[in-house]
Structure formats: C-alpha cells, structure tokens
Amino acid sequence: MGTTATELRTLAEYVTHHAAHTPAQPVTWFEDEVLDYGALDRRVDELARALIGAGIRPGERVAVLSTPRPEFLVTLLAAMRVGAVWVGLNPRYTYRELAHVVGDCEPSLLLSLAAFEDRNYTEDTARLLADFPSVRAAYRLDAGPTAGPLTSSGCLLEHAVATDDNEYAARCAAVQPDDAAVIVYTSGSSGAPKGAMLAHEGLVYAFRTEAEVLDIDRPRVPCNLPINHIACIGDICGTTLVAGGMVAFLERFSAQELLDRIEELQLTSLLHVPTVLQLVAAQEDFADRNLSCLRAVVWGGAPLPAETLAAYRALGVRLMTVYGMTETSASITWTDPTATDEVLATTVGRPDPDMDVRIVTDDGHDALPGESGEIWVRHRCLMKGYFRRPEATHAAFTPAGYFRTGDVAELRPDGNLRLVGRRTEMYKSGGYNIYPREIELALEEHPAVTIAAVIGVPDPVFTEVGAAFVVLHPRADLDSDTLRKWLRNRLANYKVPKRITFLDALPLLPVGKVDKQALRALPLPTTILETGVQNGSRNGGH
C-alpha cells in the first residue's frame, strides 16, 4: 500500500502527509459533520501551537476526558506533534478512577468535555484541580463558554498566536521515535491500573503493520470505543489514518445504530471485540441489510462463536482475528486471509514474523507443539515500561527483554496459536487448572445461547468451581440440565460449571468486554445450581 511504504516518525506526520497529497479526503465523520485531512491538519497545527504557548514542555502529560469524537483525535495528534505525552480519561470513570489516573500520571494540562449525557464534569474538574496541584490549567474540550473551572477552548487556542514559527518547527523536529507518545492505563484486573508508556515507533509499527495486513485503500471504520483504550487509539484511529481512511465516531454503542451506519456511510471495516460483533449480528434485520460495502471484519480479545462467525462469513468479507495487548502496542498474531472457520474459531493465528515470540512452560523450556506455556514476546514496539513503576516494569520483562504476556497458549502443528486462557482468570477446581474461555466457547456453540461468561467461585469441597452466566436468544427455551448435558459432550466433566445462571444481559465494560468483576458481585446460591427465569425458560437443578 503506497501510503505506508515510507515509515514516518509519528502518527501526526501521516496526517500531514495525507493533508499535502489528498487534502479533501474525508478523515472523520461525527453527527453528520465531515472533516477532511486538510482541515484536520490545520486544527492539529493550531492546538499544537497552543500547547507550546500554554507552557507544555516535551514529556509533560496532557490528560483528555472525552467520548470518541474528532476533538479527541485533534488533542492526540497535537500532543504527538510537539512531544507531549497524551493520556486518555474515560468519561464513565467514577471520580475515584479519574483521581487514580490523574494522581499517577500528574498531567500539566486537563482538557475535558463540560458534560455528557446526564453527567456534568465541572465538579469533577474542580476536585481534580484541588486535589492534584500538578494540573496547572483545565480547558473545555468542546465548543462553548467557560464552565466552572473549565476555561473555554477559545482561550486555550489564543495561546497559538504567541508561538514563534521557529520555536514550533524546532519542537516538532525534536520529537524522537523512541519518545513516549501516550500512556494507556491497563484494565487493572490484577490490582490498580498501571500506565503503559507507548513510544512513537512502536505505535507507528503497529499502525503500518495492521494497515498493510488488511490492505484496504482508504478504509472507512466506525469507532465507539473509549478513547483510553489501545484499540481506539491504535487498531481503529491509528491504522485508519495511516491508510488515509475515515473514522466514523459514535459516542455510544448501539448495535442497531452501528448496523444503520454501515449502510449509510458505506463503512468498509469492523474492528471490535467479539461481544459487540455478536450483538450486531444478533439484530433481527442483520440478514436483510445491504452490507456489500464491508470488506473486513476483525476482532480480538476472544474468539467469535460459530454462529456469529457464520453470519459474517455469509457476507463474503475478509475475516481476521488478532491477538495483542496494550503493552505490546501491536498485534502479536493474526490469522491468514484464507483461514478456515475452524482456525478462526479456535486460534489467534500465526505470530508476526517480525516479532520474537516464544511459548514458555512453567519449568522454563520452549513448549513443543501441543504443549501449553506462557507467551513471551520481544520487539521494538513493546512499551517503554509502566509509568513510574520500576518494580512492575522489572517483573513484566525477563532479563533477556521478553515481555511476559500472562496469556497461556499452545502452538499447533499448522503454526497457529491456540489461546488457553489468562493466568489471572484461571481457577483451580479439584486440582485441575481451568481456563474460562474454553467453557464459554462451548456454551456459545449452543444454538440457543447468545453469549456466556464463566468465572471461578469459592467452593468448600473443590476449592473453586465454575459459575456460568448465560444469555439466550429471544424466545429461546433452555434449562440448566439440558445445557449441562450439552457441555458434557464437549468438555471433561471437571470443566462443566457447577452453577448456571440465566441473565437477560451480561454487564459490559466501556470497551465492550464482559465485566467479570460485576459478575462476581452478583449473589450466588448456596445450592449447586441457581434457578431463575429468562425468556420464559425454567432452570432446574440437581
């Protein structure tokens, strides 16, 4: 792909490149307003100058609280352009969560929406300014007058005129590929979230590689993911901008709206977590839609159930699953264009040939085909480390520089990796190590099941047992006994969950993944099986 033949230093430089060659090409869509590359580059240039005028020095953090919308993208690119380090804040964070990130990364500047839906952020901003003196100023991100402690965005942009052209050019030229570009806070599934420092060169490698693998000229991609997630910054926005495409921003997730926008905006690619793709394909009118514009459907984080895979396969598009994580910037593996449904449903593809990937057993040797072990990866795109967490950084890497992913996998004879599960999600029942995703996939193979989640819960006899939470298709009729018999034909008996709960919906994290911490908070029965009603079905117990 011509636009990715030259490796530029930063994502911001790709925007400048496209602005010079195709200035009228659409780059963002939001609420029926379209921005082209020329206009985006000018907005980035203005804000980048304003950041310098406001006293932001190289390496200082700029925190941004926003939904996925063009203003967020402008702040990301402007910070990258002048060597500041960008940090995303999720507007759905509680104040405690906001305070953790702001207190940890100590930004010098805060840019925030004044309000979103029924929440006003002026009170949160006032508390952050009072609690964290590192924040020298706070400005409103969206258009409008000064709101409480949030000074209007116009006041910030006034700083742009005070920035000398030579100073601006020198700041842009001084940005180095190995400088930190963003800090992305991990989900915190095993403790408080840590800030992974990602460098320009690692991000650019990730963007270019994925754009070249997908090989779609000027892709048009929807984005409704939180701005603080690597998939939003990288897989969607970064990859699309490198390829000269357009990002359609959607502030909220609605499966029906996403389906509507595919047709209306002629979107070419869906890059999302499996949960969202499942919900979109489950829409009653999915099969009746004209989705001929779609050329690729890509997912990561977990496999797609067979039924959902079949629904997208029927569209005749490129299907691809990828595997990566925040700390690696880029995808570690992806599936071949000719991957069969079996490969797509049970593996995460082959390792990136440019990466040094190992599967290491508990006793430290490289796993043989069919033998499971932890995935280790070494590459220039890896994070620089966890921000101000030298001990955590040291623990994450081996002395030889391999990043320990915490994921357990096995290498199949055909060269594809099969993920067994996360070490942190694994539970031990009666002496056996059990990985929930294997059970979830078996549950989701049942034609009546839309989506399922499994966690380990304490048990006085087995130490832990599996608890499954299942959502059925509308009007489906299924009971626990039948579902357990289904599982026994597919799994060893010790893997079959001892408790099954039917729910109308699973709690989701802002990124669309299942919120397993919320599931753990649900009351569990003292009996081996929970009884309940969902879609009119009766769930019996032993």
- For the cut 90, the answer to whether the pLDDT of residue 490 exceeds it is no
Identify the band that residue 424 occupies on the pLDDT scale cut at 50, 70 and 90.
Answer: low
- Residue 419 has a pLDDT of 85
Q: Read off the pLDDT of each residue in 361-369 and give the average, rounded to a whole number.
A: 89
- Residue 2 has a pLDDT of 39
Identify the band that residue 300 occupies on the pLDDT scale cut at 50, 70 and 90.
Answer: confident
Identify the band that residue 423 occupies on the pLDDT scale cut at 50, 70 and 90.
Answer: low
- For the cut 60, the answer to whether the pLDDT of residue 250 exceeds it is yes
Architecture of domain 427-538: 2-Layer Sandwich (3.30)
Q: Read off the pLDDT of each residue in 218-235 and give the average, rounded to a whole number.
A: 94
Which residues lie below 8 Å from residue 259, measured CB to CB, with a gap of 6+?
A: 280, 283, 285, 286, 289
Least confident range from 118-132, 233-247, 460-474: namely: 460-474
Per-residue pLDDT tens for 499-519? 999 999 998 876 667 888 889
Residue 508 Cα to chain centre, angstroms: 13
Per-residue pLDDT tens for 400-411? 999 999 888 999
Strand residues in 129-212 grouped as ranges (E): 137-140, 180-185, 195-199
Which residue, among 84, 88, 80, 69, has the nearest Cα to 44 in the 3D structure? 80
- Residue 474 has a pLDDT of 86
CATH topology of domain 253-422: Rossmann fold (3.40.50)
- For the cut 60, the answer to whether the pLDDT of residue 8 exceeds it is yes
Q: What is the mean pLDDT of the chain?
A: 90
- Residue 528 has a pLDDT of 44
Q: What percent of the chain has pLDDT over 90?
A: 71
Compute, in degrees rounded to 10, the torsion defined by CA atoms 96, 101, 103, 106.
Answer: -150
- For the cut 80, the answer to whether the pLDDT of residue 536 exceeds it is no
The residue among 368 and 180 whose pLDDT is bigger is 180
- Residue 431 has a pLDDT of 62
Burial of 481 (0-12, 13-18, 19+ CB in 10 A): middle
* Structural domain spans, the chain: 2-197, 253-422, 427-538
Half-sphere exposure of 304 (CA within 13 A, CB side): 31
Least confident range from 19-28, 44-53, 106-115, 477-486: namely: 477-486
One fold for 253-422 and 427-538: no
Helix (H, G, I), strand (E, B) or coil at 337: coil
Alpha-carbon distance 266 to 220, whole Å? Answer: 7
Q: Read off the pLDDT of each residue in 17-33 and give the average, rounded to a whole number.
A: 97
Alpha helices in 57-164 (DSSP H): 70-81, 95-105, 122-131, 153-157
Q: Read off the pLDDT of each residue in 112-139 and give the average, rounded to a whole number.
A: 96
Identify the band that residue 6 occupies on the pLDDT scale cut at 50, 70 and 90.
Answer: low
pTM to 2 decimal places:
0.82
Scored b (16 or more CB within 10 A) or e, 109-130 reads bbbbbbebeeeebbebbeebbe
- Residue 405 has a pLDDT of 94
Per-residue pLDDT tens for 314-345? 999 999 999 999 999 999 999 999 999 999 98
- Residue 191 has a pLDDT of 58
Least confident range from 94-98, 166-170, 536-540: namely: 536-540
Per-residue pLDDT tens for 430-474? 666 677 877 888 898 899 998 899 998 887 777 788 999 999 988
Burial of 440 (0-12, 13-18, 19+ CB in 10 A): buried
Per-residue pLDDT tens for 65-94? 999 999 999 999 999 999 999 999 999 888
Secondary-structure class of domain 2-197 per CATH: alpha beta
DSSP line for 264-292: HHT--EEEE-HHHHHHHHTSTTGGGS--T
